[in-house]
Chain A
């Protein structure tokens, strides 16, 4: 194989691997396998779609007009959505001064929790991506 061709093929493959991964991750929430809940997968789907659209990767058939390095930098800087969900916490207390409020020994608190699961950050969702494409070996291309 001509090595300019090899350079272009390897570059194309590396870019495609990243875009394929993104498209695969985008499809996963639709089948309900991504995210820990309906809210989680919906939020991640929407965020990923917005990011991909913003760098020209949607629709999936769009041609990528950026370098591999640029692509990796942009994908790596995809902002993960942050949201909170309510959590009810029960606490036992023997504070007798609360009795006349109808206190029965248990206090309930509602707290706001920052949502976190293994699917809710793009870093975990996409894994580590190679920052550069390895060079060709001269041995394969004789003079």
Chain B
């Protein structure tokens, strides 16, 4: 389960892209997503936040995708998406944009997907990169390897 989260295109993997390797603490960064996910699958609906930011939504999407239980959150996903304060970037190619592509593809949001892919194509200087996001199947690039050393996971690209 950690593999997909930890190989996602989040802050830690940005460092990986820059340095070629990154050390990811197993503590902290994904706890909130994990807690929300656990509450979802345990039907603790009253404890589930109705509002998430893009980053958190993307992380939860990774968890849902890995466990193939997108249907479990259909009730919440609409609210999450409509409450997002971030808008699809329309004039920058950024990490947020790739998160939007991932989220809009995963949650099936045609207009967001169209906007995000348009921005990516129009504003990317070179090839569009999936930033290592675990966009599955048709979307993902090459699989990456994870090595465990002691208490930490090291992702080697």
List A residues at the B interface (Cβ < 8 Å): 1-4, 7-8, 10-11, 14, 65-70, 132-139, 141-143
CB A29 to nearest CB in B, in angstroms, measures 30
The answer to whether B25 has its CB under 8 Å from any CB of chain A is no
Least CB separation from A2: chain B residue: B138
Neighbour of A4 across the interface among B116, B123, B135, CB < 8 A: B135
List B residues at the A interface (Cβ < 8 Å): 70, 91, 93, 104-106, 108-110, 113-128, 130, 135, 138-141
With contact pairs A4-B141, A7-B128, A8-B127 given, residues A69 and B104 touching in the complex (Cβ less than 8 Å): no
- Report yes or no: A132 in contact with B125, Cβ–Cβ below 8 A: no
Alpha-carbon distance A134/B122, docked complex (angstroms): 8
29 contacts between A and B (CB under 8 A): A2-B138, A2-B139, A3-B105, A3-B138, A3-B139, A4-B128, A8-B128, A10-B121, A11-B122, A11-B124, A65-B125, A67-B93, A67-B122, A67-B124, A68-B121, A132-B122, A135-B113, A135-B114, A135-B119, A136-B113, A136-B117, A138-B105, A138-B108, A138-B109, A138-B114, A139-B110, A141-B139, A143-B70, A143-B106
Least CB separation from B98: chain A residue: A4
CB B111 to nearest CB in A, in angstroms, measures 9
Contact partners of A142 in chain B: CB under 8 A: 138
- Report yes or no: B114 in contact with A4, Cβ–Cβ below 8 A: no
CB A55 to nearest CB in B, in angstroms, measures 13
- Report yes or no: B105 in contact with A135, Cβ–Cβ below 8 A: no
Least CB separation from B116: chain A residue: A135
CB B34 to nearest CB in A, in angstroms, measures 22
CB B102 to nearest CB in A, in angstroms, measures 11
Neighbour of B118 across the interface among A2, A66, A133, A141, CB < 8 A: A133
Contact partners of A3 in chain B: CB under 8 A: 105, 117, 138-139
Alpha-carbon distance A142/B136, docked complex (angstroms): 11
Neighbour of B126 across the interface among A1, A14, A65, CB < 8 A: A65
Least CB separation from A65: chain B residue: B125
Alpha-carbon distance A65/B114, docked complex (angstroms): 24
CB A108 to nearest CB in B, in angstroms, measures 56
- Report yes or no: A11 in contact with B138, Cβ–Cβ below 8 A: no
Contact partners of B110 in chain A: CB under 8 A: 137-139
